[in-house]
């Protein structure tokens, strides 16, 4: 596949990945009842740079157009009559018999920091069955995309930021990493100071309940993926009585601190790499990147060590650094469909060409071919730092490196040093972990994938337990990649569709393979 098509495929499928939207308004909303506001739906324009750019969404298979609108929400939910911001919405109206329409089905595809306005049309055909009884709706959460998206550094600065060595080996490299992180965080504060304190997951959950009311729904019917499961859990905790039919797929463990989450991801990505290496070498033809699973992983480790000393030509004029290669490998492990691109990228890198691995890394970072970045990474850091109370010192991270390396020789250092992202953040974090206890909520279907690298399978059981007795219903998918429903597994889709469309809750402990 040509690299340009690879680029498009990765951007379309990556879940870590419009409307006429106003930013923050200095006008006081006075006595305006925001629940009574009317949405003005129009054909969607092309996505903004902050949403990832590109073309306006193509019409749906039946010829209907995607529609976009802006919902006004309080900037500060503790001062609901004060300043407002605009939340970008997108919808596809239900395609079936109007008499059988259930309501709106709200999607959040994760991140945090992913634009739902951009992502929902990319996956629209996958949800055609759900559209028969629901309006499919998604949004850019506050701080994301057109919803007053957080701005930090410019495109040129971001190029340099992502080129840096993110796994320092000595004091000088450590100082450079910490200085660059401090500069990035200061740019976020300078350029987005007004919104930074108001992008917590609890704020987004309150926006969702306002959305439910503005859309005219008595219940919140919801499909959350990855971080979207955490957002859905927080919503259920705050508004248990209005939860309708809800599905959590690729489940975040809500009981973990940010350090525990990073350590879990190290294990998850290592497990996915193990599965990739086993798959490649078990096929009848020769695996082009190694003779045995151990050989595959050893060759990757040698490549990364070489890149630490001498980067390869990447996407001109940038070079493929050790950090970019690690990032690109991680991106390819998000889906089994990407494994062939990982093989292609490794083959090229062994021959001195870093382009494909760099394209994969660019996709993870939200960089388009024209050199412009979406605000995926700034929003991700901003929301995580606003949510997570922990602030880790460099000395603490260094002390934890052995545990991270034991979890993953390849990804351990990379994920451990990522914990300094919030160290110099301007806004204090809210809590050690989210509260998702939801007594009184309707059943929530919780789908865990045994091969998920980014949200390891064990998190599904932790979410079920945290939601509380009688709420979480666990379903296991024995598969690969991040998430289950979009794997096209018929068993998973039948269970999810049966609940969302017909209210049939599958038996707890159901296993699909």
Contacts of 406 (CB under 8 A, 6+ apart): 412
Catalytic-role residue among 198, 221, 237, 482: 482
Decide if 433 is catalytic.
Answer: no
Pairwise CA distance, residues 124 & 119, whole Å: 9
Decide if 40 is catalytic.
Answer: no
Contacts of 507 (CB under 8 A, 6+ apart): none
DSSP string, 221-262: EEEEETHHHHHHHHHHHH-GGGEEEEEEES---TT--HHHHH
Decide if 221 is catalytic.
Answer: no
Catalytic-role residue among 29, 104, 226, 335: 226
CA dist 159 → 151, 316, 328, 429, 500 (Å): 15, 12, 15, 27, 42
Contacts of 171 (CB under 8 A, 6+ apart): none
Assigned token pair, 54:
């590109």
Residue tagged 């930021």 (tokens)? 161
Catalytic-role residue among 207, 249, 388, 452: 452
- CA angle 373/374/379 to nearest 5° reads 120
CA dist 112 → 142, 185, 274, 370, 383 (Å): 11, 17, 26, 24, 7
Catalytic residues: 226, 452, 482
């Amino acid at each position: 596949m040509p690299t340009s098509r690879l680029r498009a495929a990765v951007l379309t499928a990556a879940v870590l990945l419009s409307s006429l939207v106003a930013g923050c308004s200095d006008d006081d909303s006075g006595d305006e009842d925001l629940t009574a506001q009317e949405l003005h739906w129009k054909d969607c324009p092309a996505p903004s740079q902050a949403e990832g750019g590109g073309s306006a969404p193509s019409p749906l298979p039946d010829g209907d157009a995607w529609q976009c609108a802006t919902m006004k929400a309080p900037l500060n939910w503790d001062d609901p009559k004060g300043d407002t911001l605009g939340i970008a919405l997108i919808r596809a109206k239900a395609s079936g018999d109007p008499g059988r329409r259930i309501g709106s089905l709200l999607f959040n595809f994760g991140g945090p920091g992913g634009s739902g306005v951009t992502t929902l049309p990319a996956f629209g055909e996958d949800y055609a069955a759900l559209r028969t009884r629901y309006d499919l709706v998604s949004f850019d959460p506050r701080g994301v995309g057109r919803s007053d998206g957080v701005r930090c550094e410019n495109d040129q600065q971001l190029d340099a930021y992502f080129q840096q060595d993110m796994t320092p080996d000595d004091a000088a490299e450590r100082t450079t990493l910490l200085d660059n992180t401090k500069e990035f965080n200061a740019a976020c504060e300078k350029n987005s100071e007004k919104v930074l304190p108001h992008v917590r997951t609890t704020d987004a959950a309150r926006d969702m309940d306002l959305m439910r009311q503005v859309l005219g729904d008595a219940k919140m019917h919801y499909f959350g993926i990855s971080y979207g499961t955490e957002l859905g859990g927080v919503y259920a905790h705050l508004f248990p009585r209005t939860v309708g039919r809800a599905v959590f797929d690729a489940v975040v463990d809500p009981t973990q601190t940010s350090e525990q989450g990073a350590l879990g991801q190290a294990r998850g990505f290592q497990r996915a790499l193990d599965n990739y290496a086993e798959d490649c070498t078990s096929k009848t033809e020769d695996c082009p990147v190694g003779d045995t699973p151990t050989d595959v992983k050893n060759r990757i480790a040698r490549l990364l060590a070489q890149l630490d000393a001498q980067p390869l030509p990447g996407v001109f004029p940038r070079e493929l650094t050790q950090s970019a290669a690690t990032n690109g490998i991680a991106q390819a492990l998000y889906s089994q469909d990407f494994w062939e691109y990982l093989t292609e990228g490794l083959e090229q890198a062994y021959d001195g060409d870093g382009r494909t691995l760099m394209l994969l890394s660019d996709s993870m970072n939200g960089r388009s071919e024209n050199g412009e970045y979406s605000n995926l990474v700034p929003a991700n850091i901003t929301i995580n730092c606003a949510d997570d109370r922990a602030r880790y010192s460099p000395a603490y991270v260094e002390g934890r490196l052995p545990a991270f390396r034991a979890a993953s020789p390849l990804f351990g250092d990379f994920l451990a040093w990522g914990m300094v992202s919030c160290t110099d953040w301007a806004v204090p974090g809210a809590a050690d972990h989210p509260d998702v206890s939801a007594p009184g909520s309707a059943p929530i279907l919780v789908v865990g994938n045994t091969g998920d690298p980014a949200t390891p399978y064990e998190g599904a059981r932790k979410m079920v337990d945290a939601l509380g007795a009688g709420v979480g219903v666990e379903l296991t998918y024995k598969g690969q990649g991040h998430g289950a429903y979009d794997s096209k597994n018929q068993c998973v889709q039948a269970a999810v569709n049966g609940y969302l469309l017909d209210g049939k809750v599958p038996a707890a402990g159901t296993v699909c393979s």
